[in-house]
Amino acid sequence: MLKKIKDISVVNVLFFALVFIFIITIGYMQHILGEESYRGLEDSVDVLEESLRDRLRTIDKLYLALEIGIEEDLEKALDLMNAAYDDGNLTDEFLKDLRRSNSHMHFYVIDKNHTIVQSTYEPDLGLNFDFAPDFCDYLDEIILQNQYINERVSLSTVTEMVNKYGYMGSSDGQVILEASYNMGGFADILNEDSLDSLTSEAPKNLPYIVELDIFNYFGKSSNSGKNIEDEKTAEFIEHYNEAVELGETVVYSEEIKGITETTRFIPYVIHNFNDSDSVYTCLLY
């Protein structure tokens, strides 16, 4: 079972856990290179790990700078949703109109049962978050706060898009109003310094990396769109959980079709706006 992040930040934090996964076919590379060259490869992976951390710090800062400019738009949209809700006019048509005037955003209404009951993004409609108890605890706190709550970027639960989120509890404490902003619109600005480019370019530029993937807090892969529990082995998930919980690099090897693949999970901490920490876990080697 996928272990959700805990003991890393306070209970009222929305955890945006991403797992960057680099998988190197170590057995194959050792056979080709020989022992001495193989040890040199391991040294280069150590250097690559630190380089990756530096790259993540840069990406984090760039996203943060862009997020600050988005906050006002998110808050304005949520204020409009809140006013419409108070007037009894928060209809599906209202949300569609709001979406038409904010093309990079989607809008949601979450009820007290942690279910999305209204959404401008149809695949999310009806989604229930009971599979993520910590997140539900967070929603239970948001619903009591009739004010704008700002959160950092994360992978969408349903898609592989990187979004920024904002929340607001309704004035009567019955629903949560949510707005998301698709960061993909900044692709030209971010260029190579984005989460998307990191996952796609690293395997191309480094021949000994088989795959680089990102998992969100709920364990969904950005490459395949599948949940980690549906496509990874129990041993893989166990080491993933270990890296997330300890906040330390974990190295894990397994034999797949006669080839040894070695994976390095590399934790990276991102700081939220509410002075608490979320965890990006990178997985390398």
Question: By percentage, how much of the chain surpasses pLDDT 90?
Answer: 31
Whether pLDDT at 172 is above 80: yes
pLDDT greater at residue 61 or residue 83: 83
The stretch 158-172 carries a mean pLDDT of 82
Q: Percent of the chain having pLDDT more than 70? A: 65
The pLDDT tens digits of the residues spanning 97-130 come to 999 999 999 999 999 999 999 999 999 999 999 9
Number of H helices and E strands in the chain, helices first, is 8, 10
CB 177 within 8 A of CB 109: yes
Q: Is the pLDDT of residue 43 over 60?
A: yes
185-198 pLDDT tens trace? 776 666 666 666 66
Mean pLDDT of 154-170: 76
Could you please report the per-residue DSSP string of 181-228? EEGGGGHHHHTTSSHHHHHHHHHHH-TT--EEEEE-TT-BBTTT--BH
Distance, CA of 130 to CA of 29 (rounded, Å):
43
Which residues have C-beta within 8 Å of that of residue 32, sequence separation ≥ 6? none
Compute CA 129 distance to the chain's CA centroid, rounded to the nearest angstrom: 15
CB 59 within 8 A of CB 194: yes
